[in-house]
Structure 1
């Protein structure tokens, strides 16, 4: 099937259903994930569809809210696990860290559990519940207050005020989207403010995001790309994106595939 035929089919799906997922198009068209994403990018550049996390929607139909935690946790689970293992390897025993809300950050928290003597500040009730163990006296977990958002983050003035006096070595930050011009973004205004507070209290910013987040722009910018110290992503991020990230002074780490192919940079 030619590229034009694929794109016409994608456009019909979006027009008929209001949106379509990349995974559905891969199955329907019998092509790779990257081929589908390129077709969506082509249509988006012509303003025929709106590129969103995990697929495309009709132009003008994008909703400012993002999917809930349970929905997002089903997106790209293999890549998230690869990223999580790699990001957790950057954290040593005795570290003081912050972990944001979000499914990729939560996956990192899973990998952090064996590390000794951690102090963890988080605005994610899920991360706090995962890491808290009353039988361990070598670990401190601090959960902020705030208003719970659809992505299971505690955000708003209470969370921001609590974070204002905090100091951590490293922040593990999940994001809704990353764009060369818009930077790190989220569709939730309260989360944007709280994520800025998390960034402000950290010496080093480690963003964890799979390749589908690249080029996605949410409603509010959290930070510019230049503010990021390290980006941990998966091997499917294309080379143009890798070059753009490096050009902005970000240390890029590509997580090895689960099949142990040597793809890290």
Structure 2
């Protein structure tokens, strides 16, 4: 296959699914890792994809760009699975928790359907649906009202009003981006107030975000890095980003991504605590 044909197919796949990984493309096309990386570099120079660590995503057209739930669902799947596994260990029977909208919190929701006597507050239709389909009679799910966004979040004055008198043990917050300058951000202005309110309603705030979210900045800030008690991310986060988070957050959990460690056994979850 000619390079141009291969690149065209890669661009089409990114446009269709929202993201691709280098390892997947190497296996699919039977070429070297370096060849695929050159293809992605060429496509990125042409503005057809956005390069990220380990692959490429559909082009983000700015701080207000908000992909739909289905598009985000296929991005960084191994990382989200690892993050969900680690975050689920922070939840015990009988607790009250809140889950914001997002595909990482949606993945986490699947891990929590077996937790007894759990009360869940959420502004996410897909998250609520996970618990509804599980059908546990000892779990209570409270879904806020509000205006539905492209990421299937319920936001706005009705959502804020429903959250004002809620108090939970832990809030799990998915974010569009996180940076030292802007903190945790969203691309949706209407969502910012709702999620900021949600973030303030727990005794503990846990942010769940994969490594590609670092240094991504949405138009509106939800909370500062220091507002988070715990950040659960994945082991592909680079050293500089780890140091930056560690300077502001009391506990940074690095969930191991099996695909990142093809030789040898999977590593245990690594936790870094601020001195």
TM-score (norm: length of structure 1) = 0.79
Large movers: runs of 4+ above 2 Å: 19-33, 49-58, 132-137, 256-263
> More displaced, 129-138 or 155-164?
129-138
Q: Summarize the Cα distance change of 1:51–1:196 in structure 2 as closer, same or farther, 3 Å threshold.
A: farther
User: C-alpha root-mean-square deviation of aligned residues, in Å?
Assistant: 3.3
> 1:75-114, CA deviations, whole angstroms, 9 ceiling, x for partnerless residues?
0111100000110111011110000100000000000011
Q: Summarize the Cα distance change of 1:239–1:116 in structure 2 as closer, same or farther, 3 Å threshold.
A: same
Within 5 A, what are the aligned runs for 1:87-166?
87-132=87-132, 136-166=136-166
Deviation at 1:64, TM superposition (A): 1.7
Deviation at 1:129, TM superposition (A): 1.3
Cα distance in 1 for partners of 2:135, 2:228 equals: 35
> 1:229-263, CA deviations, whole angstroms, 9 ceiling, x for partnerless residues?
10001110001111111111331001123362235
> 1:35-84, CA deviations, whole angstroms, 9 ceiling, x for partnerless residues?
89xx8xxx9xxxxx9889954859xx536231000000010111100000
Do the aligned residues in 1 keep the contact of 2:174 with 2:209 (CA within 8 Å)? yes
Q: Which runs of 5+ in 1 are unaligned?
A: 1-12, 44-48
Deviation at 1:31, TM superposition (A): 4.2
The equivalent of 1:3 in structure 2 is: none
Do the aligned residues in 2 keep the contact of 1:50 with 1:62 (CA within 8 Å)? no
TM-score (norm: length of structure 2) = 0.77
Q: 2:267 aligns with which of 258, 261, 265?
A: 261
Within 5 A, what are the aligned runs for 1:166-177?
166-177=166-177
Do the aligned residues in 2 keep the contact of 1:188 with 1:220 (CA within 8 Å)? yes
